[in-house]
Amino acid sequence: MKNTQESRGGHSAVFSFLFLRYTAKTGGGGVVFNVLPRAAAIAVLAAALVFAGCGLGRQPEEYMLENPQEIESPNKITISPNEVFVAPGGKYSSFKVAPANGGVSWYIIGQDQEQTSTHFAKSVLDVDEGETASSLTVYARLSADTSIKSNEVTVHITTPLVHLRLYVSSNGNDTSGVGTEAKPFATIGKALEKVATIYADSSNPWPLIEGEGATEKKSAEIILLGPVTSASSATLAGNYPPLTLRAKTSNPSGGDLILTEESSLVTMDTDVTLTLRNITLKGRGLSGGNSNPLVTVSNGHLVLKDGAIITGNNNSHTAGGVYVTGETLTMMQGGAISGNKGSEGGGVGVTNGIFIMQGGTINGNECTGSAGGVNVATTGTFTMQGGTISGNKSSEGGGVRVAGNGVFTKSGSSIIYGGDEGDDLSNKADDNKGNAVYINRDPTFWSRNSTAGAGVDLDSTKDDSAGGWVQ
């Protein structure tokens, strides 16, 4: 299991004599401890004492527990569901605690003792990619009173979702390396070449995710073992399974992919899903200059998740961070696009493609032309359902700018800050030309200079207040 956050509760391996135990083997050879609820233990013990007391001619009162009102029930909190399924390398984030209480410490029972859990970030269970046990047992305690214990939940470890892992390192070698952690490649391009070769091998078909009626293929992961520099773009062209590009650790600084020459770092030109998580794609800096976006998506699906950061690129031609064109989908579920500069969208440019933002942040980008945060043009579509756009600057459309037949809608918990929120949060446009959003339908123009917070819907296809266009 992976160490994502040290639990706030202390080690609770010491039980009172009122607990009764039994053991059962896990599939991985570990032992799961289950604890008889304290109330049941008390009842059994009390009955035994009464029986023994009567047999010795003594009064049962002599064997009554002192201060029984101080004994707390172990069932003051509950977690649900009672049974979950997680693949190695996956997470489970839907545990519910009742009553809701932030002061909860999470635990896992395993091996030959009760262990304080170090693989929870809040209530998110992170299953290590090398997990071999067939199941784990999870429970929670109140941090303020660790004697109060919840029910136990069984976590079933399912079939891995990843079929292939290849490693890349600055100390690797594209000639003698084979892509293992011990003998990594030196470049992302070589790892992509290896994935494509294995995927094309008809004698060893690429497996599907197991399950009745399954059609989705298992993925391949390319893992950076540390900072790696690149002088040219890693181009996805041809046939690939679903791909993930990430660092080995959850710390993004441990796996930077750093651009050294004028180029994109990643170019997607095929119908494939590429997921970025826990990795930083870093340009040459705002003073370095470039004539390319840091990531170009002309085909396929790009997905940004937690820990993915796209930063430090200065593109004099189009978007600074991500440029989406063609029949494509870019889905931002987490991470950040920040500290970039472009001429058509400091952070993101969308022309003829689709950009869906469900989370994450677009922050601190600049544009010499239009749209500090996101530029939507031609027939591009930007659907904002979550996340935050803040601290961007441009001549028009500090946060978002829409032109041509582009379409922009905002809903849900998403936030686009206006121009009066302070230097860190405010999106800024020259002469208040849409600090938050600017719609250029020449000769008609709509703008919003004030913050559009959670619950405020915007729609570029509607005029005036119907579309949310107010000062």
Q: How far apart are CA 165 and CA 167, in angstroms?
A: 7
Question: Any idea which residue has 């298992």 for tokens?
Answer: 218
Burial of 319 from C-beta contacts in 10 A (0-12 / 13-18 / 19+): buried
Tokens describing residue 390? 């803040």
Q: Looking at 236, 263, 282, which one is the last position of a domain?
A: 282
Residue 307's nearest CA partner among 333, 284, 272 is 333
Domain contains 247: yes
89 in the same domain as 25: yes
Residue 372 has what pLDDT? 97
- Taking CA 410 as the corner, what is the angle to CA 459 and CA 245, rounded to the nearest 5 degrees? 135
The tokens for 287 are: 């003073």
Distance CA 140, CA 198 (A): 43
* pLDDT given at position 269: 93
Domain that holds residue 225: 161-282
Residues 153 and 165 in one domain: no
Contacts of 431 (CB under 8 A, 6+ apart): none
On whether both 224 and 249 belong to a single domain, the answer is yes
Give the β-pairing of 219-224 and 124-126: unpaired
- In whole angstroms, give the CA distance from residue 429 to residue 371: 8
Q: How many CB atoms lie within 10 A of CB 428?
A: 20
Pick from 231, 263, 282: which residue ends a domain?
282
Closest CA to 233 of 255, 272, 256, 259: 259
Local mean pLDDT, 10-residue blocks, the chain (471 residues): 36 30 33 39 45 40 34 63 81 78 73 47 72 81 80 82 90 96 95 96 87 80 94 94 87 78 95 94 91 95 94 95 91 95 96 95 94 96 97 97 96 96 93 94 90 96 88 55
Given 227, 259, 282, the domain boundary residue is 282
Total number of domains constituting the chain: 3
Contact 88, 130 (CB under 8 A): yes
Residue 440, pLDDT score:
92
pLDDT at residue number 253: 52
**pLDDT (0 to 100) of residue 380:** 96
For residues 106 and 222, state if they share a domain.
Answer: no
> DSSP string covering 126-177, please?
E--TT---SEEEEEEEESS-TT-B---EEEEE---SEEEEEEE-TT--TTT-
- DSSP element (H, E) containing 190: helix 188-199
- Cβ pair 112, 73 in contact under 8 A: no
Residues 173 and 221 in one domain: yes
Verify that 468 and 351 share a domain, yes or no.
yes
- Which pair of structure tokens corresponds to residue 341? 């500069």
C-alpha to C-alpha distance for 63 and 211, rounded to whole angstroms: 57
- Taking residue 201's Cβ as centre, other Cβ atoms within 10 Å add up to 9
Is 224 found in the same domain as 115? no
SS3 content of the chain, % helix, strand, coil (to 5): 10, 40, 50
Closest CA to 245 of 191, 180, 176: 191
Residue 32 confidence (pLDDT):
32
The position carrying tokens 């860190």 is: 424
Give the other-Cβ count within 10 Å of 264's Cβ: 26
Structure tokens at 310: 């796209």
Tokens in use for 445? Answer: 């123009």
**Residue 147 to residue 14: CA distance in whole angstroms:** 10
For the chain, the distance separating the N- and C-terminal CA atoms, rounded to the nearest angstrom, is 51
Hey, what's the torsion of the CAs at 449, 357, 90, 169, to 10 degrees? -90
Query: 101 lies in a domain?
Result: yes
